[in-house]
Chains A and B, each alone.
Chain A
Amino acid sequence: MKKVSQYLVLVLMSVMTVSATAAGQDADEIMKKSHLAYYYAGDDGQAEVTMTLIDKKGKERGREFSMLRLDLEEGGNQKYYTYFKKPSDVSRLTFMVHKSSGGNDQRWIYVPAVDLVKPISADDKNSSFVGSDFSYEDVSGRHWSEDNHTFVKEGELDGKAVFVIESVPKEKYKGFSRKVSYIDKTTLLPVKEEYFDKKDELIRVFTAEKIEEIDGIPTVTIRSMENIKKGTRTVVDFAQITYNVGIQDNIFTERYLKTPPRNFIK
């Protein structure tokens, strides 16, 4: 009798372990696919971006820039090129990122007023991107392997069937202590993300405001990030999106920072 019960406990325990691992793998897999769908659409891409920064009193200020992206490997290294058009006092300012999925990213900025190209640091990925509520990491992506993901449940959000996944950084991280993602089951794009700080208070909420199919690829064309604590919000509108336009690697060099490539930047 005793043996039987011991055996039962053993079986139960192993079943639980197996299912837990399965869910864990599921969550990792979902987050990986979502990351690829969101950050690596096509082999390259081009867009006209309008960013609206809304402060807590509702006052708005805008930024407009053209953006080029080239994927060197799926889920791996990427290059970004940004050409600012507005605000007018920073027009012609350009910015470039060589994203390295393993090590540190490299960033350069060209400051037209003093005609100078300057490498700028990328140590703090959590810092704000051009003063918006998006961080550099939100723009170029936080690698899925940096967090432990747990499958919470399947659910529904705004009429979409979603996976709800909770992510906790493996190493202590300033950006968040916990993140809850709602991943669209069909497109695998994140529909909503909630970021919590170390007091476990909600600090930021990402929302995919509009998802459209561009060249057959589901794309978030309007996204927003709300900073709950500060009461600020940033809305980013991607227009004239095109994928697989044949952007060359040599565009992402110092030469083109000073003189933008006319065939891509209007």
Chain B
Amino acid sequence: MKRRITEFSIKYPWTVIGIAVVITAFFAMQFPKMKVDTDPQNMLEADEPTRLFHQFTKEEFNLYDFIAVGVVNEPTAFTPDMLNRIYDITTEIEEIDGVILEDIMSLTTVDDIKQGGGGSLIIEPLMSEKIESQEEADYILGRIKNSPILKGKLASDDGKAIAIFIPLESKDVSHRVAGQIREITDRFGGGERYHIAGLPLAEDSFGSEMFVQMAYSAPAALLIIMLLLLAFFRQMRIVMAPMIVAMMSVIWAMGLLILTGNTVHIMSSMIPIFLIPISVLNSIHIISEFHDHYKRYKHKDATIRHSINELFVPMLFTSMTTVAGFVSLALTPIPPVRVFGIFVAFGIVVAWFLSLTINPAIGMLISTKALRNFGKADDSHGPLSKVMHTFRDLARRRNKSIIGVAAAVVVVAAVGLTLIEVNDNPVKWFKKSHPIRQADIVMNNHLAGTYMNYLVFESEDADYMKDPQVLGYMEKLQRELEKDEVVGGTTGLTDIVKKVRYELFGADSARAAIPDNQIEVAQMLFLFEMSGGDPDDLFKFVTNDYSKSNLWVQLRNGDNQLVQRVVDRGNAFMASNPPPEGLNIQWAGLPYINIEWQKQMVTGMRSSLLSSYLVVFIMMIFLFRSLRWGLISMLPLSITIMAIYAFIGYIGKPYDMPVAVLSSLTLGLSIDFAIHFIQRLRMIHARTNNFNESFHEIFEGAGRAISRNVMVIAIGFIPMMFSTLVPYITVGSFFLAIIVVSGLVTMLLLPALSVAFNRTLLPVIKKATGKVADRASGRAA
């Protein structure tokens, strides 16, 4: 098989390149059909119960995802000027497309229940027209502080911050709407500062910035890798081959992804940046081999035949193990991660096949003249060789210390693994200096929070929610949740009933309580509707048949860990204080959805890592036909994964989505180094039948090829470290660490082990028989 593919490429290079170009063009034509999706909700299956319930809650209570505009001014934002500006700004925001104008919550739109002239009850906007005096401004702040429904939400108690909540038709307009709001605040604003925050904005903006990153990181990686290869091989035409293989693999993989109707999600946007370094690996081995032997064979076709022959098995296995690492992601319950895994795996298969065909084809097309100095420079004295020789000396002389250090690392890492904290927050996908992060910090500092969870009270019976017992239970639950400092406030039907009753009895604090009979509750609510209260405001807290009610739980922080803490607190309360008969209580909200998918991600990643670990192990036993070598080959990746994750545990970096995905990558890539090292050490040994000779030689050609690969991958991911988006930075920097660590383990621990156990691992075969003898003689010829 392998011979036929290679022979065909050698004989008909133009045909091979032509076919590849046609297929590439076909996949490239799919690109305009690309659909983007940045909604973390899609991290869950479309029919996932948590997600369906959230959707149900939104529809049942007419809720929309919202973004929040915050205005901060020192010493106070409550001056007539400022408030009038907010009046104008709100009026203009109402006209933006995609904004649910009826539901905007601003000083100028939100109803306040209060005492009017002649002891009357009034429900009217806090600020229905522009004001003139400081007294009026102070009065408005006083009203906000006095209302359990508005306190801390529309303005901070110290009056320094004011918020406008802007509901949106859908999350995917947030980035555009935020831009339009910024234009408005720039136009009206004075010295005060405006901030725009909210989960939908973070999620949508991430999508737009993601594409900038893609457009920048992928070509940057290509360029850097090309320069590096040029430095290695000093022959532009040869270096073009792996570049073409990389680009084609990316185009095929992304093209197929789009063609099959998949959307480009946060995860799949990383496919090119992952594929580029991985897809050049095989090419580097082929070129290295070609480079080292060209001067011996003098003929291109003979050198190519030799190189492919030598590398076919390790290349096949390294590609298969990397594929296994990524395909295992298909076992996760998270659709975008599945898509990512499958299409990276597909790209690797493509890269493997193209490496075997495009490289020889391009090699054949390069004129012999151009290659006349190729490989002449003696690599065995280059800087890379010097490093390799140092490693060789270290591994031979200090093999016991190396094994000892590795063992110590494993022990220290085992402790670190227990320190890992699972956490994520889409807002923190942006750097701390990013306006979205800044807005998040400032607004959640001053106000009751920009993250909204819901606790939905459900029953079968109409009017159930008017029952004083039910409202009393809700009130207790509210007080319990508010004990957590992350909870900025809770708002429910209880607060409306209490507020109406309080104002009805002439601002009598003793009456700010749930009445003890249902008729009175019903009439308080009717009074709310009669005195100008917007029924829509009421029906955000209760369904119109009063069978279901919605308690708003406003959070100051969207970290999954903290959201989980609040959820746990609520659940614990409900477990020890069972709700009244017939009442069922469930969580909903974007932050709640995020903790749900994170749970699935953690368990999903664990099983995917374990299964791919097992598959790779079995493949190794099969490849080396030795349990011992199989075990040893698993060492570099095992130690690397442990060390990297322990490091995450020790420095307190949260285990989030990109970190989770890295485990599969580590597995797929670190094993490659081990395969090349072991497979080629054994091939050399079969030829030399002398441990010292084999040990000496592995650090030459093969050692250089492996270390070139280490450098290419490590450096290829560096552009990601300069991203403005945290997940990209995480992936870039951890990759660098992973590759360097697994490269070091491969080039130090594996040689050290082979020195320590050379008699069992690489025995001297007394009588050269059969296949080994054939190969050895073939080589010598």
Contacts and interface: CB of A to CB of B under 8 A. Distances in A.
Contacts of B120: 118-121
B180 to A, nearest CB: 14
Interface residues of B, number: 39
Contact of A109 (B62, B123, B128, B527): B527
Interface stretch (B533-541, B631-639, B705-713): B533-541
B518 A119 contact: no
Interface string B503-526: 011000000000101111011001
Contacts of A197: 101
A206 interface: no
B466 A55 contact: no
Contacts of B102: 229-230
Contacts of A198: 94-95
Given A109-B527, A111-B504, A114-B504, A89 B519 contact: yes
A223 B86 CA distance: 39
Contacts of B119: 118-119
Contacts of A148: none
A131 to B, nearest CB: 4
Nearest to A108: B120
B520 A113 contact: yes
A113 B529 contact: no
B626 interface: no
A68 to B, nearest CB: 17
A120 B531 CA distance: 6
A252 interface: no
Interface string B80-119: 0000000000000011000001100000000000001011
B435 interface: no
B517 A121 contact: no
B643 interface: no
Interface in B49-107: 62, 94-95, 101-102
Nearest to B515: A113
A61 B544 contact: yes
Interface in A33-61: 53, 55, 59, 61
B461 interface: no
B536 A230 contact: yes
Interface stretch (A6-14, A122-130, A242-250): A122-130
B504 A123 contact: no
Contacts of B95: 198-199
A116 interface: yes
Given A116-B504, A121-B116, A89 B463 contact: yes
A72 B505 CA distance: 33
A114 B534 contact: no
B337 to A, nearest CB: 36
Interface string B283-316: 0000000000000000000000000000000000
Nearest to B60: A57
B116 A90 contact: no
A90 B128 contact: no
A93 interface: yes
Contacts of B515: 113
B221 to A, nearest CB: 46
Nearest to A123: B124
A155 interface: no
Interface string B524-566: 0011011111111010000011000000000000000000000
A112 interface: yes
B124 A113 contact: no
Interface in A217-235: 229-230
B122 interface: yes
Contacts of B750: none
Contacts of A195: none
A89 B518 contact: yes
Contacts of A151: none
Contacts of B529: 128, 130-131
Contacts of B526: 89-90, 93, 130
Nearest to A87: B522
B408 to A, nearest CB: 66
Contact of A119 (B121, B463, B523, B527): B121
B151 to A, nearest CB: 22
A95 interface: yes
Contacts of A118: 119-121, 504, 527
Contacts of B531: 109, 120-121
B533 A127 contact: yes
A229 B103 CA distance: 12
Contact of B530 (A61, A87, A120, A199): A120
A120 to B, nearest CB: 4
A199 B101 CA distance: 10
B121 A59 contact: no
A154 B538 CA distance: 42
Contacts of A121: 116, 120-124, 531-532
A90 B527 CA distance: 10
Nearest to A172: B91
A95 B463 CA distance: 23
B465 to A, nearest CB: 12
A109 B524 CA distance: 12
A59 B544 contact: yes
B108 to A, nearest CB: 10
Contacts of A199: 95, 101
Nearest to A203: B102
Nearest to A197: B101
Contacts of A113: 515, 517, 519-520, 522-523
A87 B522 CA distance: 10
B104 to A, nearest CB: 12
A124 B531 CA distance: 9
Contacts of A230: 62, 102, 536
A124 B124 contact: yes
A95 B544 CA distance: 22
A92 B463 CA distance: 18
B56 to A, nearest CB: 12
A120 B532 CA distance: 9
Contacts of B527: 109, 111, 118, 120
A93 B523 contact: yes
B544 A120 contact: no
Interface string A191-226: 000000111000000000000000000000000000
Nearest to B501: A114
A14 to B, nearest CB: 39
Contacts of B533: 127
A114 B101 contact: no
A90 B121 contact: no
Contact of B128 (A122, A123, A130, A229): A123
17 contacts: A53-B544, A59-B545, A61-B545, A89-B518, A93-B523, A111-B504, A113-B517, A113-B522, A114-B505, A118-B121, A118-B527, A121-B123, A123-B124, A124-B123, A124-B125, A131-B544, A197-B101
Interface of A: 53, 55, 59, 61, 87, 89-90, 93, 95, 109, 111-114, 116, 118-124, 127-128, 130-131, 136, 197-199, 229-230
Given A109-B527, A118-B121, A121-B120, 10 more contacts: A61-B544, A61-B545, A111-B527, A113-B515, A114-B504, A116-B505, A118-B119, A118-B504, A127-B533, A130-B529
A-B pairs with the 9 shortest C-beta distances? A121-B122, A119-B120, A89-B522, A127-B532, A113-B520, A131-B535, A120-B531, A131-B529, A113-B523
